[in-house]
Structure 1
Amino acid sequence: MRNAIFLLKHVGFYNVLKDISNFGFEGSTLKKIFEKMIIDEEKKKEEKNEKLLVNLCECYIFQSNLFSYKLLSICVSCLLKVALKKEGNEETQKEVEMALLALSCFDRRYNFQRDLFLNEIKEIILNHQMYRNLTRLAYQSAWEFLINRLPNNSLEEEMVNELHIIRESIRELEELSTSVDWKKKEEEMGKTERKAMHIISRWIRSIGNYFYSCKLWNEEYVGLISRLADVFLVSRDNYGEISKQCIYIFETVAGNRAVKLDTLLKSSAIDAVLEEIYRPTLNQRITFGLFVIFDEISKRLKEEEKDEKKEAKRKATKRKVFVKQEEEGYEDIIISFHEVFRFFCR
């Protein structure tokens, strides 16, 4: 059993880190065995083996895609006890990292009570901001647990104003980006650099989910989008999936009415994506993403025409957009592809 648990945790850890789904576990006898073992261990009044229960819960969460409410409650409660440990030694940090990584697997499909477990995660985040006692992966996973609880207006307000999600995301992306050599391919990197790259990818996915749900405006968005533009530029040669994730975020931001249009124009996102158009190897996904961004901007400008009070500001913003489009004949490119784009969008 000890060897089986070690193997399943090891496989599960890397599946989650690399965003690989495993559907073979569902409906298997092994899943039923784990469910029975977890419930039986939880029921024990005396001689409960807490370490075994934690290991079982982590294995189960890493491998499973579907959870009953009963199993969900047992696993989350059990892992939060581990995640709340505050000792700074390496062994405890690893235990906390594994527990938080498992907790980050619960996405918005699992609608346990909105306020359930949030206080504990917020305590973990605030404690780290004060003492820096978590690993980078553990910290990102704690944020992912919160982001997966959105949309939730009161939670979003706390994340922005008390936990400072934008500021922390900028800092983490900046520090992680400078810790890797983007000119190397993944197979050329050492273990530490590869892990940092996977954490960057997880941060970007989480930020994308945040922008999809967010309803509050924050001026720090400009800095975060500019940081993502930097990541886009350095990742496009060797880490195409990361650059595509950045494009998806720019599309999401362009379409999110809570995010001001000036944010995109003040940030370096548009310039970064336009730069890709003139590269010898044109990426289809990035080209399409650029059309989506400008299409969303165009729609929003038309919406603002209806509000006379915004007319002057709308015209100023429109002029900025046209300047971007007219640079080096880009307006002609948009016109020539306009009908193709409209057909594709249908």
Structure 2
Amino acid sequence: MCNEDIFYNEAQERSLADKFSKLFSGLERCPESEQKRKIEEMNLMVEEMNKEEFKSIFTKELYDRISKMIEKKKITTNNALVLLKQVGYFNVLKTIWGSGFHYSELNNRVEKMIAEENEKKEEKNEKLLVDLCECFLFLSCKFSKELLSICEPCLLKVTLRKEENNEAQKEVEIALLALSCVHGDHPIEQKLYLNEIKEIIKYHQDYRCLTCLSYESAWEYLTQKFNDSKFKGSFFVDEWRRAREESLEEVILNELHFAREATRELEELMKFVDWKREKEEERRGKEVKEVLVTRRWLHTLWIFFRNFRFWKEEFAELIGIIVRVYRASRINCKVINCQCIRLFEAVTGDRDATIEDLLKSGIVSFFLEELQQSTIKSSMTCQSLTFCFSISKKLKEKNKDEMEEAKRKKLKRKVFEKLEEKGYEDCIIGLCHYIIHGSFGDCHLIENCSEYFVYP
């Protein structure tokens, strides 16, 4: 980064932090209407902040101060929530994870307010409850089962709104983004969420009424339900968990067509991402919204592939688009690039992918290209070698059925010719010394380089 860029970043950070702090300090000494105007101005600053600016401002001390201001009636609850929702929204969208809110007095105050508002039999303020739940899910990092049983159904009601105006769409987007923060180690019963989230996804598939961020958030919320780590530990519980996951698998893959939809969404996002512009924005500590949504899709796909070892033919097209995202982002966006690498590791693990599907997806050619460009310190070298060893192993497995065996031999010849054309064996021999001497750190590679070869 040149000196001019460094000066620009430091000056902008000082300017935003100073302006925000000055406006915040003045909130206690002005009437409600003036508070509202200042908070709108502060919310615009929140949108412009990069991660460093954000973390420097939104600390435990600031959240404690907001709590005291609410207690002493120096800021209205509504105005405080308008600010906190904006802070929470960008906290999640930009993946700025911190524990300042969770350990603050404000966290305890919000939890108490959610419980009290939910317990009201009459004159319950539904909007207030929604705002409280969204702020809590956005900003906290630990959720009790009791609070989730209030927040999730409350926000799912918001997602079912069918109005197509911009205001309603934004409300749905905020609710779904908040729900996507609920990780799988915070389980609630399927009956409290499954029908509602299925309905919102299906309705969008028919009418295309959600924003791209809303739709991704709906899928992330649903796929997170696979990560139910608290229920591991006994045979009967594991059996229950397995049955539950099989029902989710059926819904996600066959009823809601996850692979098809993820492929379509990534293809659409690719049309609108200017990767050169993204590189410039990244230098200044910012990211284009389409890139942020692309990152979220890649994370959702990683959750999905990490938790299931099966394979479906339609995954080939999905992997193909991930390869395209990797190639497009390779020079200009390191974060996306690293996510793709992590996804390749999850996708090409021990699963029932056929060689035909892998060839069709383009991932075989992709890994061969990576090997040709490999350096010893490349993060893709170990991935490429592991993947190619897996291909070699699959092609060596003989089949007792004569027709299947003939098919295997034909495919083996096809793959051999492809590998020979790409100079694959020369690459392996060149890397052999480093494999033997463990230069790839924790990667468990085979020392006998011939194990990576495919013979006709």
TM-score by length of 1: 0.89
Partner of 1:291: 385
In the TM superposition, what is the alpha-carbon distance from 1:290 to its structure 2 partner? 1.4
Q: Letter of the aligned partner of 2:386 in structure 1?
A: V
Partner of 2:334: 240
**1:22 aligned counterpart, secondary structure:** coil
Q: Distance in 2 between matches of 1:59 and 1:33?
A: 12
**1:134 aligned counterpart, secondary structure:** coil
Change (3 A) 1:58 1:106: same
Change (3 A) 1:276 1:342: closer
Partner of 1:89: 165
Q: Letter of the aligned partner of 1:344 in structure 2?
A: D
Change (3 A) 1:13 1:273: farther
Q: Distance in 1 between matches of 2:386 and 2:85?
A: 40
Partner of 2:344: 250
**1:230 aligned counterpart, secondary structure:** helix
In the TM superposition, what is the alpha-carbon distance from 1:261 to its structure 2 partner? 3.4
Partner of 2:235: none
Aligned length: 342
Partner of 1:268: 362
Partner of 2:300: 206
Change (3 A) 1:21 1:316: farther
Q: Distance in 1 between matches of 2:95 and 2:352?
A: 29
In the TM superposition, what is the alpha-carbon distance from 1:174 to its structure 2 partner? 0.7
Match of 2:264 among 171, 174, 192: 171
Give CA-to-partner distance per residue, 1:111-146, whole Å, 9 cap, x none.
222443111000000001111111110011111111
In the TM superposition, what is the alpha-carbon distance from 1:317 to its structure 2 partner? 4.5
Q: Is the 8 A contact 2:375 2:381 kept in 1?
A: no
In the TM superposition, what is the alpha-carbon distance from 1:266 to its structure 2 partner? 1.6
Match of 1:144 among 220, 228, 231: 220
Q: Distance in 2 between matches of 1:17 and 1:239?
A: 17
Change (3 A) 1:326 1:343: farther
Is it true that 1:34 corresponds to 2:110 in the alignment?
A: yes
Change (3 A) 1:160 1:208: same
Q: Is the 8 A contact 1:250 1:293 kept in 2?
A: no
Q: Distance in 1 between matches of 2:339 and 2:412?
A: 27
Q: Distance in 2 between matches of 1:54 and 1:173?
A: 30
Partner of 2:130: 54
In the TM superposition, what is the alpha-carbon distance from 1:104 to its structure 2 partner? 0.9
Q: Which runs of 5+ in 1 are unaligned?
A: none
Q: Distance in 1 between matches of 2:169 and 2:377?
A: 41
Partner of 2:11: none
TM-score by length of 2: 0.69
Change (3 A) 1:238 1:65: same
Larger deviation: 33-42 or 20-29?
Answer: 20-29
Is it true that 1:69 corresponds to 2:145 in the alignment?
A: yes
Partner of 1:308: 400
Q: Distance in 1 between matches of 2:336 and 2:162?
A: 33
Which fold has the larger relative contact order, with Cα–Cα distance below 8 Å and residues 6 or more apart in sequence?
1
Partner of 1:153: 246
Q: Letter of the aligned partner of 1:71 in structure 2?
A: L
In the TM superposition, what is the alpha-carbon distance from 1:101 to its structure 2 partner? 0.6
Q: Is the 8 A contact 2:156 2:196 kept in 1?
A: yes
Q: Distance in 1 between matches of 2:338 and 2:415?
A: 23
Change (3 A) 1:224 1:47: same
Taking only the aligned residue pairs, the percentage that are identical comes to 50
Larger deviation: 169-178 or 261-270?
Answer: 261-270
Match of 2:435 among 335, 338, 345: 338
Change (3 A) 1:343 1:237: closer
Aligned pairs for 1:186-205 within 5 A: 186-188=279-281, 194-205=288-299
Q: Distance in 2 between matches of 1:249 and 1:342?
A: 19
Change (3 A) 1:106 1:315: farther
Q: Distance in 2 between matches of 1:324 and 1:13?
A: 48
Q: Distance in 1 between matches of 2:392 and 2:423?
A: 18
Is it true that 1:129 corresponds to 2:236 in the alignment?
A: no
Q: Distance in 2 between matches of 1:279 and 1:258?
A: 28
Q: Distance in 2 between matches of 1:274 and 1:153?
A: 35
Change (3 A) 1:332 1:278: closer
Q: Is the 8 A contact 2:144 2:186 kept in 1?
A: no
Change (3 A) 1:30 1:299: farther
Q: Is the 8 A contact 2:382 2:440 kept in 1?
A: no
Larger deviation: 124-133 or 285-294?
Answer: 285-294
Q: Which runs of 5+ in 2 are unaligned?
A: 1-76, 227-241, 445-456
Q: Letter of the aligned partner of 2:88 in structure 1?
A: G
Q: Is the 8 A contact 1:217 1:258 kept in 2?
A: yes
In the TM superposition, what is the alpha-carbon distance from 1:171 to its structure 2 partner? 0.9
Change (3 A) 1:258 1:341: farther
Question: What RMSD, in angstroms, separates the aligned Cα atoms of the two structures?
Answer: 2.6
